[in-house]
Amino acid sequence: MERLLVLVRHGQSDWNLKNLFTGWKDPDLTAQGVSEAKAAGQRLKALDLHFDMAFTSDLTRAQKTCGLILSEMNQSSIPVTHNQALNERDYGDLSGLNKDDARIRWGEDQVHIWRRSYDVPPPNGESLKDTVARVLPYYCQDILPQVLAGKRVLVAAHGNSLRALVMVLDRLSPQTIPSMELETGIPLIYRLNADSTVASKEVSHA
């Protein structure tokens, strides 16, 4: 039984390129983001991986990344589940603002706290702790049982929603996880033990 779980952060979005807080806003992939997603699919295909199902968020950039990966692997026919539980962290009042402009408005230190603390949310938004509280029940109830049953699962989502999963899989602390960066379009390949702990992890760089 393989118990394969692959996590991929979406390719570069238009707002990533413009240095804007994105959150639940729904910009599309850039040309570079499309290339990153296709490259991820090509690397997974070269590793001869096969998926039984995929999960992604309700946002275009993650859904398109998922579709491009599966297309490159000639596996577009597998079932794909969309759920907002996997959406990016909601940046609230920061959404759509340029990150440099936000620093001018609220100060470097305050914006750093909002971005890099574990439990301090931006105004009307979610902290990373809030995002973890949203993502983990969905993972435990909908994704993990499929993996433990031997299904090979792809999850294409976002930097912070995937941080929540990596926090559990890699046993990272609330102090460690905010500083961990997930690169766009770089697959994290996990194989799990029967008790849901990690048997192996591989980062599939180009």
Q: What is the structure's pLDDT at 178?
A: 81
pLDDT in tens, 75-127: 999 999 999 999 999 999 999 999 999 999 999 999 999 988 999 999 999 99
What share of the chain has pLDDT > 70, as a percent? 100
The span from the CA of 179 to the CA of 51, in Å, is 30
Active site (annotated) includes residue 88 = yes
| Amino acid at residue number 115 | R
Q: What is the structure's pLDDT at 1?
A: 84
Q: Spot the catalytic one: 10, 72, 126, 158.
A: 10
Q: Spot the catalytic one: 36, 72, 88, 126.
A: 88
Tokens of residue 7, six digits: 């996590």
Question: Mapping DSSP to helix (H, G, I), strand (E, B) and coil, where does residue 49 land?
Answer: coil
Q: How confident is the model at residue 206 (pLDDT cuts 50, 70, 90)?
A: low
The span from the CA of 194 to the CA of 124, in Å, is 40
Domain limits of the chain? 4-18+27-91+139-159+170-203
The span from the CA of 61 to the CA of 185, in Å, is 11
Contact between 93 and 106 under an 8 Å Cβ cutoff? The reply is: no
Domain 4-18+27-91+139-159+170-203, CATH number (from 3.50.50.60, 3.40.50.1240, 1.10.3720.10, 2.60.120.1440): 3.40.50.1240
Q: What is the structure's pLDDT at 47?
A: 96
Active site (annotated) includes residue 36 = no
* pTM exceeds 0.85: yes
